Structure 1
């Protein structure tokens, strides 16, 4: 490109130039004619002390800046550099606002030319990237980035990234760039100028379309590939250890023999051949994925049967497909036909997307998401939303174009390009079909399920299947979903869907025949908005009163109590909401009857509006059903309210779950399949599978096997219970947090970070985090906390790995599925044994039922559930045979109670040491 780009990066003392924060390093790289032509960097004396955090982050100290120039001294040079150029930066508003302030203070004019934000550009150019941080994008493009958070290095890498991204845009087909140009008018930076120039250049050159692409109805897509037919192929199962070793050597360079993996292969193959169910606990490092994929593939090929592999998370699905299946193909020296299938809503509806492209876009998030999808369509073979990294606003737009069944929108012309149908076709022709527990459960009760017939199943992460089934067989009604639904409909004067429907029907002459006036329905919508607000306010009040002093996140069982005024008001309001939802649904149904009769007279755009109304009516029907369930007293389901006191109304939700799903799973799943292999690293409690069998409803089991981890825990791990901490049951939560905080600080200083702390409550995590931060004793550590630091679990984990002196505070989801091998994690702290709170609604209901049947709720449910969770947490530390580390359990019940022994017997055989904090610090220095 002919323009001049000046890529800027600044290091500063803070985030607020208006509050006196200053630049401490300036970096600029000049890009002209598609190459880097110049660069300039300078430290800058801010005339103030650098905060400790900034010094840790950047490596720039006060002594380094002592003789550096003031910004006023380099300001004329900076102004000269920026003349007639694009101002480019990674998160441009930060750098531009800072530099503008400094330039004006130095007596310069400031910059008022075009700007490019490489974060915004990366979101469009790399729609599938799981992070848009500079370090991650540099790694993705294999760019040398030796000194992150130093302005000269960051500016250089950003400039190199800009050149790569400009080339990516150049390689896009002209139809895509033209659409991007239209949509980019509403972006925060001036990317429309870039897209426009590239578009004009392509039109002049008349470039042919790349071979792998085709254009259909003005949209460029990756060419369709035909679905390969499933073959009947026989591969002999390796019977001897030497045969297995030879097979796996083909899959790995530097293969390490794992006898446990061989054993697992035999067990899975045996279970499938004998048509029996199996429970296989495979410890960390066994090589579980290939341990079940190899025998499953061989069995599927030789018997011409399909094997379904189901996981709890979509991330593990993707990992199997991208990481393990290529190894499987190498090992077997053939291409096993593997398909991945998810729920219909994961796939894009191209007819809806095409229609939405024709509408003028004023919403920033929607415009950006449309641009991301346009680029994705030139790459994707699946059309799956999980490939995209969308903002929350982007997800709202996705809900309008996801692959629901269209009633009014004509989709016939897009049938050949329907990604969901393609996924179904691939599933029909697959030897191995990878799906997730939710999809598998949805298929069980659906008359027209998406999955093809199957009789042999691997349930990976099998310990989560009961929880997934509980969610699936249950229901929920939350404030945000109801509010979004009513906002989508809108009052007539708000010009949303209701307004569009009335105008459309009025134009078609249908409204004249309607009994109900627009004003009546409008009043009904207004009343419903008011009553639902009231319903969720009452729900929050009920939950808060029921769970006094229980922290910010609360769960309160919904128990009929006629003498309770809040309960009575809640029931009365829920009844009103139910009747109003039903009346609104009936009114819209009558309106739609008229629309059906005139369907042929509507334009494509009008059809899209009617289609949106149909889907909204389905949501109304579900909400109506749920409102009725709030007031219905019969039934064996557990009902409860969840809320977060920090954002009471927005977070409030009603939940309905069956107490047990075991009978349903036995009747609808296990009894109907020939062989289900349930596997996980955590299935047994004290060397017994009794608990998991009861939870899953597994009655007939062919084989049960524990395959221990190959790691040498005795030499790789030290397990310590501090002896100078109070018993958790003998002090208040606040006193306990103060005590453990002192220990965390001492241990962190000794280990120099690389520490994961697992909590069982958000409240305790928050209190400990705040106490440590306020103490100032760990100022040079990076503290990353779930629910406090921004970002998803994977983003927090990535940030943790980035810094040596880092502490990661986690709860709930961090107890499992977090993989931090090597020196990135050398210390694990388990704050308390992970028993579910006895008053948690589902726990209370399960325990009450056990007691009612004459059993012991603690030994039959609470203890085994906590042990399985403890095993998951314990497994976070040692991920490879080279890892070494320390595990501290702060809960003294591990060594002072009889049941503590059950926890210890259920994990790897490591001696427990009890020590004072001074002895612990000495031991850490010796050990590490």
Structure 2
């Protein structure tokens, strides 16, 4: 036995369970034996939640190598698989599942040996280890003798983080005209010397230039709608004129995306514009919503006892990461996406500012705040990489008006409509109302935490201004009419407390009475807000009065805060002013919310507003109710989008590979907001340069019966085996995805083909894609997020299988829009767009080849326009599809020099 490695290692997959003992023995064992072993003995694991799921014991714990890696290598990327870990620690990867357990012991020894020496992230490790030892972190006893106490005091976290500095307000950008030849030269420099000249990309860059010309009239931006097929190179196509304009005009271009994957890609492309890292960090800044960034005050509270158990260990590991993070982004940044999932939702969301409780300059860490640093860096940047939601929030809520962008590029523009739909909607639900109550009142129990109500956050204002103090007191009193803890239980028991809970009880009763699928206990219910019953009408009056009584003091408090700013009392230094300005912005957001709720309540028993769609809903998941309320969406959300985002801008480009959704430019005009403007938008279209006739094919399988789960699972399994993995399986319903996964995972494991699944595996979606990309024999099942946000070029993705035609879900909102915007043709546009996006996952680079399989005999011919024009499309039986996929797999193996019969369809 190795005395320095006295622990066995355990590995479990769908094909079996193995253990490697300290004595050098390696063998298979049953799931029951594995669970008993792990319960009695500390064992080395890789991703304990995933191993626990494989064993049917979700609470399994042990010496997780991912936690050890996160401690030693904070802010460093690793694919959380044996193969990925082997690459990270410079070891040979295990060749089979049976070899994984011995490898885990070898990897543990390698990481522990590293801890004995010097490594780049050593500073702060000893200090953090003392806290982790007190928390009984399993790795602490092994690390303590290996990491010696430093001779000098360690700079740790808060002392390591740099402070941002205030700068002068940036002057408005100068009106400039960018010469076409300069755009061509810049594009040539970005693509690189000797690169193939792509005429489509050059034309695209020339068309994009119009968005950077000076506008001629107020509220009429220069707008460009550009549809560029996959492979055109649109990212560099718009970055060429954008970077030139920023350089010559002295302004910032905001490039907005929908997916985090494209944000990361844009960051990589930035290396072409600014090769030197220091200049690139200054000139290109990524911005996200506040809820994405680590809140240092929340972290401090967690480290000082606000968290307990496993959540406290997570806080310590996040602190290690924060000291080395580039930007403090916890969602899609350099925090490993798998780290929070190791702790099963224990605390990661509480480390961000998700409730709008920031005290701004009142925070002791304000000068080091990641959020504030990003905001200030973006004010001086040339290119700001943002997302659709953040752009709309900033525009609608009036934040950062001094640095408001004048030029936007909306990449993934086909998602603008959905992003605006979510942003400009209103929902008076129990969850939203209880959050507002907590924001105003603060903690109502003795539980430890840093949550503060209005009175605590504005104590200095309350002591200075009598009217402000009165408004705060009135707001707190009125907020007690809002739902409180256990509100759902009270509604289920028929005992609502207060006017808002009584309204929600009436909503629940009417929804169950009228919803068409009320008997289905699995998913949410909804019904149109029309012809309300007496109970709902009766509950609306008191609920409206309660919200009116809340809105009045919020308005009064906002006015008093503005007055205090104007009076500038002696105690108001720079930080206090910034804090009050932040409070004013937060108050405006809450006032707007309550005003929207009042409009919704006014609709009960009143006339309908043709601009909106209103409905009642009971939200459920797997039979459990989790929210109830009234909802309002714009019939056309591009109306508020155009008013708040487009009209104030000087130039806007909206671009995507599927901007027209297989239709004409009228579709793009409507779904981008261009139709709301007085001046027409420029149009540009360039087809993909890929040879779809030889690189791809679409097979529509006609003999898999709809609703036959066994047949659906069998089709997926046989297709994945025929392809030898490399399959992206797309579903329109989580329930069917889980059912198929349960039927085929073990079967594929016996073929040596790993299967990953969104909504099944306890791994975040980004990490699932990373694992899928890293292993050409792996396959991945998922839903909408994978249909739109996956970029996996090369051999790792060579087959896309869709369970059926992605028909729109027949919701109240969809029915209203279908009626208003063309009926069947409106449905067809949505379906074509979804099919186009799904097919677009297949061919990402010039050398890619693959097959798209649709398991639906009900695929109408009119929807085939979703696929690129030259793509071969055939209706075939499943056996014929299997033969085609098998042939393609054998051709690939032959090309790579591998055994042609490596995988055979059973």
Q: TM-score higher than 0.5 here?
A: yes
Alpha carbons 2:437, 2:483 under 8 Å: kept? no
**Distance of 2:823 and 2:742 partners within structure 1:** 36
* SS of equivalent to 2:729: strand
**Distance of 2:191 and 2:557 partners within structure 1:** 66
Structure 2, unmatched stretches of 5+, are: 55-60, 216-221, 464-468, 492-500, 559-563, 572-579, 890-906
2:902 matched to which residue of 1? Answer: none
CA deviations 1:341-374 (Å, max 9, x no partner) are 33344445556655x2684345235523442343
- Per mean C-alpha deviation after superposition, the further-off stretch among 807-816 and 769-778 is 769-778
1:35 matched to which residue of 2? Answer: none
Which of 825, 833, 842 lines up with 1:877 in the alignment?
842
- Per mean C-alpha deviation after superposition, the further-off stretch among 229-238 and 383-392 is 229-238
Alignment of 1:659-678 (within 5 A): 659-678=635-654
Alignment of 1:551-630 (within 5 A): 552-554=522-524, 556-563=526-533, 569=535, 628=598
Deviation for aligned residue 1:909: 1.7
Deviation for aligned residue 1:297: 0.5
1:427 matched to which residue of 2? Answer: 378
1:461 matched to which residue of 2? Answer: 412
Deviation for aligned residue 1:272: 2.2
Is the aligned partner of 1:10 residue 2:4?
Answer: no
Is the aligned partner of 1:841 residue 2:790?
Answer: no
> What is the TM-score with the length of structure 2 in the denominator?
0.74
* SS of equivalent to 2:161: strand
2:824 matched to which residue of 1? Answer: 858
Deviation for aligned residue 1:808: 2.8
* SS of equivalent to 1:153: helix
CA gap 1:788/1:177 in 2 versus in 1, 3 angstroms:
same
Deviation for aligned residue 1:170: 8.7
* SS of equivalent to 1:760: coil
CA gap 1:748/1:120 in 2 versus in 1, 3 angstroms:
closer
2:400 matched to which residue of 1? Answer: 449
Which of 644, 666, 690 lines up with 1:711 in the alignment?
690
Q: How many residues align?
A: 813
Alpha carbons 2:258, 2:412 under 8 Å: kept? yes
Is the aligned partner of 1:265 residue 2:241?
Answer: no
**Distance of 1:504 and 1:432 partners within structure 2:** 38
Alpha carbons 1:281, 1:705 under 8 Å: kept? yes
Alpha carbons 2:793, 2:843 under 8 Å: kept? yes
1:917 matched to which residue of 2? Answer: 878
Alpha carbons 2:753, 2:779 under 8 Å: kept? yes
Is the aligned partner of 1:26 residue 2:9?
Answer: no
2:243 matched to which residue of 1? Answer: 297
Is the aligned partner of 1:120 residue 2:67?
Answer: yes
Is the aligned partner of 1:632 residue 2:602?
Answer: yes
CA deviations 1:291-341 (Å, max 9, x no partner) are 1112211122123333221112344323312x1100222499996822233
CA gap 1:405/1:397 in 2 versus in 1, 3 angstroms:
closer
Alpha carbons 2:726, 2:797 under 8 Å: kept? yes
CA deviations 1:112-141 (Å, max 9, x no partner) are xx9854433334444545667353444445
1:697 matched to which residue of 2? Answer: 673
Q: CA RMSD in A?
A: 5.5
Deviation for aligned residue 1:464: 0.9
CA deviations 1:367-426 (Å, max 9, x no partner) are 23442343234323534343335453333422469985418x834x65543444433332
Which of 299, 302, 327 lines up with 2:272 in the alignment?
327
**Distance of 2:858 and 2:452 partners within structure 1:** 63
**Distance of 1:424 and 1:446 partners within structure 2:** 15
Is the aligned partner of 1:372 residue 2:355?
Answer: no
> What is the TM-score with the length of structure 1 in the denominator?
0.73
CA gap 1:538/1:293 in 2 versus in 1, 3 angstroms:
same
CA gap 1:119/1:711 in 2 versus in 1, 3 angstroms:
same
Alpha carbons 2:49, 2:762 under 8 Å: kept? no
1:221 matched to which residue of 2? Answer: 161
Quick check: which has more Rg, 1 or 2? 1
**Distance of 1:615 and 1:236 partners within structure 2:** 37
**Distance of 1:755 and 1:177 partners within structure 2:** 44
Deviation for aligned residue 1:442: 1.8
1:734 matched to which residue of 2? Answer: 707
1:186 matched to which residue of 2? Answer: 135
CA gap 1:49/1:224 in 2 versus in 1, 3 angstroms:
closer
* SS of equivalent to 1:239: helix
* SS of equivalent to 1:832: coil
**Distance of 1:49 and 1:741 partners within structure 2:** 25
CA gap 1:460/1:803 in 2 versus in 1, 3 angstroms:
closer
CA deviations 1:483-531 (Å, max 9, x no partner) are 67778979966556899999999xx9x9xx99x99xx989968984455
1:161 matched to which residue of 2? Answer: 111
**Distance of 2:456 and 2:165 partners within structure 1:** 41
**Distance of 1:87 and 1:724 partners within structure 2:** 48
Deviation for aligned residue 1:829: 2.0
Alpha carbons 2:190, 2:236 under 8 Å: kept? no
CA gap 1:541/1:441 in 2 versus in 1, 3 angstroms:
same
Alignment of 1:394-433 (within 5 A): 394-399=347-352, 404-406=357-359, 410-411=362-363, 414-433=365-384
- Per mean C-alpha deviation after superposition, the further-off stretch among 908-917 and 488-497 is 488-497
**Distance of 2:773 and 2:531 partners within structure 1:** 51
CA gap 1:461/1:193 in 2 versus in 1, 3 angstroms:
same
CA gap 1:448/1:785 in 2 versus in 1, 3 angstroms:
closer
- Per mean C-alpha deviation after superposition, the further-off stretch among 678-687 and 270-279 is 270-279
Which of 786, 794, 808 lines up with 2:766 in the alignment?
794
Which of 301, 326, 341 lines up with 2:287 in the alignment?
341
Structure 1, unmatched stretches of 5+, are: 16-20, 29-39, 55-70, 73-78, 99-113, 602-609, 727-732, 851-855
1:61 matched to which residue of 2? Answer: none
* SS of equivalent to 1:924: helix
**Distance of 2:357 and 2:442 partners within structure 1:** 22
CA gap 1:284/1:269 in 2 versus in 1, 3 angstroms:
same
* SS of equivalent to 2:347: helix
